[in-house]
Amino acid sequence: RPPAYGVLPRPCRALVLLNPQSGAGRALEDFQAVVQPMLAEADIATTVFVTERPHHAHEKVRDEDLSQWDTLVVMAGDGLLYEVVNGLMERPDWEDTMKKPLCILPGGSGNALAASINHYAGNDHVAKKKLLTNCTFILCKGLHTQMDLVSLSTASGKRLFSFLGFGWGFISDVDIDSEKYRRLGNARFTLGTLQCLAKLRVYQGRLSYLPAVPEALPSDSLLVPLCQPVPPHWTVVPEEEFVSVYAIYQSHLGTNLLMAPAAQLHDGCIHLFYLKAGISRVALLKIFLAMARGTHLDLNCPYLCYVPVRAFRLEPRTAAGIMTVDGEALACEPVQGQIHGRLCRVLSGS
């Protein structure tokens, strides 16, 4: 097993993948004003690649010779890192390439991984420029560690790799419906939550999971093909009507949403939350307000269920609602996922 922790070399060469359109559209400006001076002090030389279209970063990291860089830095929202991870996993030399540390610098609206890494480093909860400064300081320190990824397989034959979370229902609706307000930054999610509360929907489907237990099984024994029933040692959730299903593997769902306080970068665990139909709008709003402090489970709401798992399957009854992976929209169809421990490396600060 490779070492849990490592340190970037000095001098260090970083490829920065930057999306100038992400979040409120200030990523390039903030990079030049906040990040570059700090990196120069820390002897980190940068090559900046500005994306011009969707999948641009995906193609760049999939096809490029990356040996000239010591780390890949993403200055954008979580969506660009999702592109980068999946581009890297499509390379023939993916096993070696995934040992190259990744770094996230918050330039989007949600910035969930940046907020999570800031949290794991023991820093106070911060947002905007302060979060960017903290994450840049983590890059300057150069300490990196391993991070779990989740592989997702869909009924149509897609295989995707995810570092943050998979969702269906209310949370995904808020994420995608609020895209049109992205210039508002993080406030877009508050507005989106209120709009989706007003037209609260229920989604029908079957949810199954393999509970997390300490000993690790060989990786191929977790999932069976989607056309077959789940194995008998899996748990099938008796309810089939949900307001939301969300499988998260980091602590934060957004800068101000501490969804899985117990999560760690390589805990070998998917933190599965589901909200059963029947919850009132008031109770749902209370959950999201409590999530700002990570105290939503303390409410003991009978409609909110949480279980740590190693694999899950979700089979919607109809193609209703939006599915998301790492905040990016997916077609609604049966999907299953499993955790892969310590599959990549990330700048971590602690």
175 is catalytic: no
Among 30, 70, 78, 326, the active-site one is 78
* Contact between 70 and 13 (Cβ < 8 Å): yes
CA dist list (Å): 42 to 13, 35, 103, 145: 11, 11, 15, 19
* Contact between 167 and 324 (Cβ < 8 Å): yes
Distance separating alpha carbons of residues 12 and 7, to the nearest angstrom: 10
* Contact between 142 and 43 (Cβ < 8 Å): no
Please return the burial class of 308, using the count of CB atoms within 10 Å of its CB with bins 0-12, 13-18 and 19+: middle
Residue labelled with tokens 């169809």: 333
Cis status, amide bond into 232, omega within 30 of 0: no
* Cβ contacts of 257 within 8 Å, gap of 6 or more: 112, 189, 288, 291, 292
* Contact between 192 and 175 (Cβ < 8 Å): yes
Q: Which of 267, 257, 247, 261 is nearest to 151 (CA)?
A: 247
CA dist list (Å): 163 to 56, 96, 141, 248: 19, 18, 22, 9
Q: Please name the amino acid found at residue 314.
A: L
CA dist list (Å): 210 to 12, 166, 213, 221: 42, 16, 9, 11
Active-site residue list: 78
